[in-house]
Amino acid sequence: MNILLTGGTGFVGGVIKNRLVREQGHLLTCAVRKPENIDGVGLQVGIISGLTGDTDWSHVLEGQDIVIHSAARVHVMKDSAADPLLTFREINVDGSIKLARQAAQFGIRRFVYISSIKVNGEATYDGGRFTAFDKPAPIDPYGISKLEAEEGLKVIAAQTGMEVVIIRPVLVYGPGVKANFRSMMKWVSRGVPLPLGALHNMRSLVCLDNLVDLIITCIDHPAAANQTFLVSDGEDLSVSDLLTRLGDALGRPARLVHVPAGLIRVGATVLGQRAAAERLCNSLQVDISHTCQTLGWQPPVSVSEALAKTARSYLSE
């Protein structure tokens, strides 16, 4: 099977690439802007100009059977773009739609799109969980762009018969993770007291290995065609539980101070960080039963195993 992968130099795409190269029978082509940024051993490398509505993908689509589209402009905490939504649309919407339309023209059988749980929204309440069938409610420009891309892909699927599979991950972690998850590991490993011991909100997470296993399952599973799947590790954690278990994995017990969530929100508001506090204090849980039942799939890696692997990678650095 011939597979075209975008985003092969990214956090998720790099693991997809490594898994696919090891999979017997798969001939992988990675579309990149700079070939020096990717290890080309065991795969083909196709050079593209970027990810916009003007990109010509024809030279890398020839002879392919499947497209896995993981390239995107990702969520930016402090966006410097003059018009963030416009910038997200140019890449995540226009770029994805152009790739999909050309893919359909070249007879690509299936287009696997890595979206985001932000299409569903930013938080769940009163023990509720997001499902793949909920009415989308994105809030930020990144989530809006991902929803618009999904909608465009579904139109192309209906018009052309090309199968589209949409996967919405929750927060992804694993070896090499950056941003807030890496900051938490740094704080815990340094023994910094953290005022998060009273945060018992629940969060769904997904480790790289589980996400990539699902993506590869969706390459050729008959039941995946034209479906939307949410994905997590299948075990939700509170912020305080996550920090405690990270401490165990790092060999450095987390030093948690019990500060009520309300006080954290007040303090963050005073410091101009209200949105960050909401993300920290709110719950975000997903129901992956549709994913598991439709595909006969279960997350192959436990949370404990995934945290241990992530911690080992961090400590080795």
Question: What's the pLDDT score for residue 317?
Answer: 84
Tally the domains of the chain.
2
Backbone angles phi, psi at 68, to 5 degrees: -110, 115
Mean pLDDT of all residues in 98-126: 97
Band the pLDDT of 274: cuts 50, 70, 90. confident
Residues marked as catalytic? 142
Co-location of 61 and 163 in the same domain: yes
Co-location of 91 and 157 in the same domain: yes
Co-location of 48 and 194 in the same domain: no
Co-location of 182 and 304 in the same domain: yes
Share of the chain above pLDDT 70, in %: 97
Co-location of 164 and 270 in the same domain: no
229: CB partners within 8 A, 6+ apart = 132, 165, 166, 167, 168, 214, 218, 288, 290, 291, 294, 295
CATH at 313 = 3.90.25.10
Average model confidence (pLDDT) across the chain: 93
How far apart (Å, rounded) are the C-alpha atoms in residues 48 and 275?
36
Mean pLDDT of all residues in 241-262: 94
Range of the domain at 278: 174-206+233-317
Co-location of 48 and 188 in the same domain: no
Co-location of 123 and 12 in the same domain: yes
Mean pLDDT of all residues in 242-263: 94
Co-location of 127 and 237 in the same domain: no
Co-location of 239 and 254 in the same domain: yes
Alpha-carbon torsion (197, 11, 113, 21), positive or negative: negative
Asked whether the predicted pLDDT for residue 52 surpasses 80, the reply is yes
Asked whether the predicted pLDDT for residue 77 surpasses 60, the reply is no
Question: What's the pLDDT score for residue 281?
Answer: 87
Co-location of 97 and 132 in the same domain: yes
